[in-house]
Amino acid sequence: MSTGLSLILLASSATILGPAQREVVKRAEVRLLAPCCYAQPVGQHLSAEAAEMRQQIEAMAATGESEAAIVDHYKHQYGERILVVPDGETGRLLFAFSLAALAVCSAAFFYLLRRIVKAGAHPQCRASQEETKCLCREFGGLIEQQLREWLTE
């Protein structure tokens, strides 16, 4: 870490941030990922790198940097990967893809549900009443015979 950045961090720890500066810090911490694993936003991650980055963001906000300037600084340092939601066309494509996937999956679910309901309402294999009575007599007799044998044992 450079000496200049260390001095800024030291000065910022003594500086109390105003409400506007705290809002800038909060918004920047939500937009940037922790550079150690790119898994969580800086504001939530508990690594040493994320803690250092939070201090740097607070120092930049204390000197009057805007949220956009802070985010641009880290974009230049780490690339687009540091952003929680990519800027520009990539971000729009990601959101459009997720909405399209949701629409397709919902349509497939309702189509299958509709087919299941229709199949249940009109069963294709139904025995007539005569066949049912014949089967009841045939199997009813077998069941009675088995029960008698079982009880006499």
Residue 1: pLDDT band with limits 50, 70, 90:
very low
Residue 53: pLDDT band with limits 50, 70, 90:
very high
| Rounded Cα gap, residues 106 and 95, in angstroms | 17
Residue 54: pLDDT band with limits 50, 70, 90:
very high
- The fraction of the chain above a pLDDT of 90, given in percent, is 33
Work out the burial of residue 40: count CB atoms within 10 Å of its CB; fewer than 13 is exposed, 13-18 middle, 19 or more buried: middle
| Rounded Cα gap, residues 11 and 26, in angstroms | 19
What architecture is domain 3-82? Orthogonal Bundle (1.10)
For the chain, the domains span 3-82, 88-152
Residue range 120-140: mean pLDDT, rounded = 73
Q: What single letter denotes the amino acid at residue 138?
A: E
